[in-house]
Structure formats: C-alpha cells, structure tokens
Amino acid sequence: MSKTAFITGITGQDGAYLAQHLIAQGYAVHGLLRRSASADGMTSRLKWLGIADQVTLHDGNLTDLSSLIRLLTDLQPDEVYNLAAQSFVKSSWQQPLLTGTVTGLGAVNALEAVRIACPKARFYQASSSEMYGLIQQRIQSETTPFYPRSPYAAAKLYAHWMTINYRESFGMHASCGILFNHESPLRGIEFVTRKITDGVARIKLGLQTTLSLGNLDAKRDWGHARDYTRAMWLMLQQDVPDDYVIATGRTASVREFCEMAFACVGLDMNQYVVTDPRHLRPAEVDYLQGDAAKAKRKLGWTFETSLEQMIAEMVEADLARLKMTERL
C-alpha cells in the first residue's frame, strides 16, 4: 500500500518541490491550505510543477490546532512535514508576534496534533541556518552553537528545540533539517535571489532600468530547493530520528550572485544595481557556510545543482515568465 504524507506549507517553494518528490515515490500527498481572498493564485507553484491535480488540499491553518487534529485523525499519515512559516526574515521585525505565533508556536501545534492524532507518524521540522545568526564558528555544523539575529530566527530556534524535546520526551520520530538558504524559480519574489533574477530578466527585456538592493556583502551558502527537499524525505526514511545540516559548503556574496545573474544575459551589474538603505535590516546575518558531512555520511545526501546552474535556471525561468505575462 502506498504511504501517505501530509505537508504544511505545501503552497510554498519547498512544499511544491517536496510534493513533487513524494508523488514520484508513490505517496498519496495531502497538504494544508490556508484560506485566502486571492484563492486563484494560491496553487501557482504546484501548477508550475504540473502536480496541482495530484495533491489533495485541506482547509486549515497552522495556528488552528483543532483543524490540524481533525485532519491528522482522518488522514492517519505516515509522514508529516512541517514547512509552513512566516518565512521572510525582514518581515519578522515588522510582524514579530505573528512570526512567533506561526513560525514558533505553529510548529508546536503541528507536534501536538501528531502526538494526539497519529503518534506513530514520522515528523519533519523545517529548521534554518538563520538560527546560527551571529556565527560562533566560521563553518556551521550540527554542533555549532546558535545565536539568532531576528524574530524569525528566534522563533525557528524555539520550534527546533521543541521538536527535539518532543522526540526526547515522547519518543516521537521527529527530525529537524537545518537547511541553509535554498532557492529556485519558485522562490518568493521578496527574497534576494529571486529579486535579482527577476530584476535581471526585466532589465534584459527593457521593462526596468535599475535594480535596488541592500547589503551586497552578506554571504550565503545557496543551494537548490529540489536537492534540499529530497534531503527532508531522506531524513524520515531513517530508523532513528536525528537533526541534519543541509548545505553545499560553498558561500558567495549577494554581489557575486548578482554578477553571475547579470552575466547570464551578457550584462554588467555595475551599470544597473543601486543600493538603498531601506533594504537594510536592523541586525544582519553576515556570513553562512554549512558543513553537511553528517547528511552525506548518514543519509547519502549530496546536492546535484551548482550555484551557476541554479542561477541560470532562475534567470531563464524569469525571462520566460515575463515574456508570457508581458506578452513580449
């Protein structure tokens, strides 16, 4: 019999790629859909991957424990992936309470629902490299101490430790993936990578003349969401639950990302990029570089898409998308 998976955050970047992977593995995939007045756009990522009609979506909200309990009682999933969050760091200073409620307490709602409704289900928590924040070691692994630098990171750290606590307290098969930044053509437009590739495409097509950014010196270890969601699934296939860093081990600055993206269309970033202090943050995470040796050793996980390949894929996708929407 095929396995059943339940994904919170299925309409987001990772939810869509994870659903695609699970469908390919023969799973029945169910997801949580929060109600929106703009319902027509909510499944756009699932449609982009051509899988919208292969998943079953259920009304609910991560902040509504009763909806989660009812759903999990009915579905009795084998695996639960908690990906839903207020996931944008910059917004977390504007909405610290909402971020704490959804990104932090929301994870505990998911854990409680599993504990009450389907305690044998395997649970994945989407932890984040942002938890390292003001880095305590130059290269970060599972043993590196955390130092969160935003309301988002503090909420993720609470969710991370609560997942570990539920594993240790109740014997739940609960694992945390400490994923470093991962991007794709399905990345939200507010994140710097997608903002850059969309900007590059607009400039190339004559729809925009400049690209306004904040801190160009911040460095991130960027991978592809397709590779990283495969790691989530691998974690839940292990006999013993555990926590894993998922990263490429390579770090690059926002400036270097820009250079590569502009080079994809034969342009020089220096002629188009302007900086604006409005894009700066109250506290910055300057440098992230992950060590995924444990995931490689125990899960057999490695990434397949290089930074250059990912940037080219994102720029191509944005060019194609704009040509269609702008009827060029």
Amino acid code (one letter) for 305: T
Site membership for ligand NDP, residue 9 (CB under 6 A): yes
What residue is closest to ligand GDP based on CB?
218
Residue 156 near residue 131, CB atoms below 8 Å: yes
Is residue 198 within 8 Å of 241, Cβ to Cβ? no
In the complex, what is the shortest distance from the CB of residue 82 to ligand GDP, in angstroms, rounded to a whole number?
Answer: 18
Segment 22 to 41, residues that bind ligand NDP, using CB under 6 A = 32, 34, 36
* Tokens matching residue 245: 């860093």
Minimum Å distance from CB 220 to ligand GDP?
A: 6
218 binding ligand GDP? (CB under 6 A)? yes
How far is the CA of 5 from the CAs of 61, 96, 161, 294, 306, in angstroms? Answer: 17, 30, 23, 25, 29
Pick the closer one to ligand GDP by CB: 193 or 248.
193
85/303 Cα distance (integer angstroms): 24
Q: Residue 268's CB: how many other CB atoms inside 10 A?
A: 10
**Size of the residue set binding ligand NDP (CB under 6 A):** 26
Rounded Cα–Cα distance for residues 85 and 269 (Å)? 33
Site for ligand NDP in 80-99 (CB under 6 A): 83-87
| Interface pattern 183-212 for ligand NDP (x via CB under 6 A) | -----x------------------------
SS3 content of the chain, % helix, strand, coil (to 5): 45, 15, 35
With contact defined as beta carbons under 8 Å apart, do 114 and 305 qualify?
no
Of 96-104, 185-193, 235-243, 266-274: span binding ligand GDP (CB under 6 A): 185-193
For residue 257, list its beta bridge partners: none
Q: Is 279 an interacting residue with respect to ligand GDP (CB under 6 A)?
A: yes
Which uninterrupted H or E stretch holds 98?
Answer: helix 96-99
Distances (CA, A) of 12 to 1, 37, 137: 28, 17, 31
Q: Which residues contact 6 (CB under 8 A, 6 or more apart)?
A: 30, 31, 32, 71, 72, 75, 77, 79, 80, 81, 121
Residue nearer to ligand GDP on the CB measure, 74 or 276: 276
Q: Please, what is the minimum distance in Å from the beta carbon of residue 129 to ligand NDP?
A: 6
Residues 22, 62, 105, 121: which binds ligand NDP (CB under 6 A)? 62
Q: Which stretch binds ligand GDP (CB under 6 A): 163-171, 215-223, 298-306, 313-321?
A: 215-223
Q: Does 281 bind ligand GDP (CB under 6 A)?
A: yes
- Pick one of 51, 55, 172, 192: the residue that binds ligand GDP (CB under 6 A): 192
Determine how β-strand 252-253 pairs with β-strand 219-220. antiparallel
Site string for ligand NDP, 108-127 (x = CB under 6 A): ------------------x-
Rounded to a whole number of angstroms, the minimum distance from the CB of residue 278 to ligand GDP is 9
Give residue for tokens 């506290």: 283
Task: Report the interface residues with ligand GDP, using CB under 6 A.
Answer: 89-90, 130, 181, 190-193, 195, 213-215, 218, 220, 254, 279, 281, 284-285
Task: Report the interface residues with ligand NDP, using CB under 6 A.
Answer: 8-9, 11-15, 32, 34, 36, 42, 61-63, 83-87, 102, 126, 128, 179, 181-182, 188
